Structure 1
Amino acid sequence: MKKTLLCAALLCSATAACAAPVFTLTSPDFNDNDVMATKFAGSDKGNASCTGENVSPALSWSNPPQGTKSFALVVVDPVGAKGLGVDHLVAYNIPFQRTTFAQGELTRGKGYTGGKNSPGTLRYHGPCPPVGSGQHHYNFTLIATDLPANGLEQGLTREALFTRLKGHTLGAAGLIGRFGNE
């Protein structure tokens, strides 16, 4: 019996079939590296590049790392602002029990503590790439942490959030949406 269990354990450790499930982030609104619909772009009458409705896409995730107590979610355009990057969402203190955000929920600021994005708001601000700048990539990154879901104060920038998360991250999952104003 001991030999059978040992053989099974060795076989399991040598195959992908026994590997832990992968932490994933998906959206029913767009596939990874696909173009996002215009309604997910920013809406700002004072900015001609904000051509959408500023509706946040729906997101769902599965298989967070063991020990996860909360999540953080950031949405970043790494080439926005002429290469300096634009933070479209900084959200954290997301309870570990949560596995989705409905379409528009991140825009309304529900279910998370808002951090300060590049436009200065505490909620989702959709893409507003300049006309003629091509397709920009919007990186949605969900970070599993061992921090309690009420551990961080409102208004942290992405950089300040990442500083606070050092030593407390357990893993991350990502999704890329593309958008451009041709």
Structure 2
Amino acid sequence: MKKTLLCSALLLASLSAGAQGVFTLSSPDFNDNALLDKKFAGATKGNPSCTGENVSPALSWQNLPAGSKSLALLVFDPEGAKGLGVSHLVAYNIPATADGFAQGDLTAGKGFTGGKNSPGNNHYHGPCPPAGSGAHHYVFTLIASDLPPDALKAGLTREQLLAELKGHALGGAGIVGRYGND
């Protein structure tokens, strides 16, 4: 009888642990590894590679890891700057009660503390790959942490944010969009 109860308890515990599901990030505006629409590309006067509308795509997430208090969102192009990488968004102090961003929210700076991206601003800066460089990969990474949603000061770079999250990250989820100016 004790063995049956123990087996039942272990089975119930494993089922309820799996019931939460996998931490995921998705977008209604593009599928993972699909091409981004031109409206999501950067818009910088005088830059022939930045002829989009600079509208940030909508994002949503599910199944945050247990203990999550805040989130950080990074958008990074590993092929940018001739392979050195370009940071398009550094966003953090996102409350764990949030479940996504509407289209344009990341451009407007809504719902997060802005860090410093490669172009030097604190909000979404869309893709601007040079013509002829092929489709670059824009990696959207959402990191759940145990830090309160007001723990980090504004203006952190990608590298500074990752250093602050070390020892506090609980899990990550990602999605990739591609964009090229060919």
Corresponding residue SS for 1:94: strand
State the Cα RMSD in Å: 1.8
Query: Aligned partner of 1:139: which letter?
Result: V
Displacement of 1:21 after TM fit?
1.0
- Matching of residues 20-169 of structure 1 within 5 Å: 20-169=20-169
Displacement of 1:13 after TM fit?
7.1
Displacement of 1:15 after TM fit?
8.0
Whole-Å separation in 2 of the counterparts to 1:148 and 1:56 = 25
Displacement of 1:12 after TM fit?
5.7
Whole-Å separation in 1 of the counterparts to 2:147 and 2:119 = 27
The Cα offsets for residues 34-71 of structure 1, whole Å up to 9 and x where unpaired, read as: 00100000001121001210000000000010000000
Query: Aligned partner of 2:178: which letter?
Result: R
| 8 Å Cα contact 1:12-1:18 kept in structure 2 | no
Relative to structure 1, the CA distance from residue 104 to residue 20 in structure 2 (aligned partners, 3 Å threshold; closer, same or farther) is same
When normalised by structure 1's length, the TM-score is: 0.94
| 8 Å Cα contact 1:92-1:115 kept in structure 2 | yes
Q: Which runs of 5+ in 2 are unaligned?
A: none
Whole-Å separation in 2 of the counterparts to 1:64 and 1:78 = 26
Q: Which runs of 5+ in 1 are unaligned?
A: none
Relative to structure 1, the CA distance from residue 78 to residue 15 in structure 2 (aligned partners, 3 Å threshold; closer, same or farther) is same
The Cα offsets for residues 126-175 of structure 1, whole Å up to 9 and x where unpaired, read as: 00000010010000000000000001111000001111111110000000
Displacement of 1:16 after TM fit?
11
Whole-Å separation in 2 of the counterparts to 1:22 and 1:56 = 25
Relative to structure 1, the CA distance from residue 102 to residue 10 in structure 2 (aligned partners, 3 Å threshold; closer, same or farther) is same
Relative to structure 1, the CA distance from residue 16 to residue 68 in structure 2 (aligned partners, 3 Å threshold; closer, same or farther) is closer
Whole-Å separation in 2 of the counterparts to 1:10 and 1:149 = 35
When normalised by structure 2's length, the TM-score is: 0.94
Whole-Å separation in 1 of the counterparts to 2:17 and 2:148 = 32
